[in-house]
Amino acid sequence: MALEPDDVRSEQKFAWEDASSIRDLMRDGGVTFSVKDQLDVGGRLDYETPEDVFDPDSLIGSANFNTLDAEDHSGMPFEAIKEKMEDVTPTGSVKKRVLRQGIGEKLPKDCLVTIHYDAYLEFNEVPYDSSTLRGKAWEFVLGNSGVLIGLDLAVATMREKEKAEFILHPSVAFGKMGCPPRIPQDAELFFVIEVIRFKIGSEAALARATELTWDTVKPAFIALNKEGISLYNECRYKESKMKLEKAKRQLEQCHLKNEAEEEEQKHYLFKVCLNLALALNKMKGSASFAPSAIMNCKQANEYKPGNAKVHLQWGIALITLGELERARDHLAIAKRKLPGDQAVSEAWEKLERKKKHEREEETLFWKRAVNPTEKPDEKQEDALSGEAAEIFKQLKEFSSNPSESSLTLPSGVTSKEREEIEMLAEKLKLNMQFRDKSILITKS
Judged against a pLDDT cut of 60, whether residue 324 lies above it is answered with yes
Residue-wise pLDDT tens digits, 240-272: 999 999 899 989 988 888 999 999 999 999 999
220 exposure class (CB count in 10 Å sphere: 0-12, 13-18, 19+):
buried
User: How many Cα neighbours within 13 Å face the side chain of 35?
Assistant: 9
133/66: higher pLDDT? 133
In this prediction the pTM is 0.49
Q: Which domains does the chain have, with CATH numbers?
A: 78-200 (3.10.50.40), 208-358 (1.25.40.10), 387-443 (3.30.1370.50)
User: How many Cα neighbours within 13 Å face the side chain of 233?
Assistant: 6
274/396: higher pLDDT? 274
Rounded (10°) angle between helices 286-303 and 308-320:
150
The residues facing 87 across adjacent strands are 95
DSSP state letters, 30-64: -----EEE--EETTEE----HHHHS-HHHHHHH--
- What per-residue confidence (pLDDT) applies to 167? 96
Residue-wise pLDDT tens digits, 163-184: 999 999 999 999 999 988 889 9
The residues facing 191 across adjacent strands are 119, 166
411 exposure class (CB count in 10 Å sphere: 0-12, 13-18, 19+):
middle
By residue count, the chain amounts to 444
8 Å CB contact between 132 and 118: yes
Interatomic CA distance for residues 3 and 11, integer angstroms: 10
Interatomic CA distance for residues 158 and 429, integer angstroms: 41
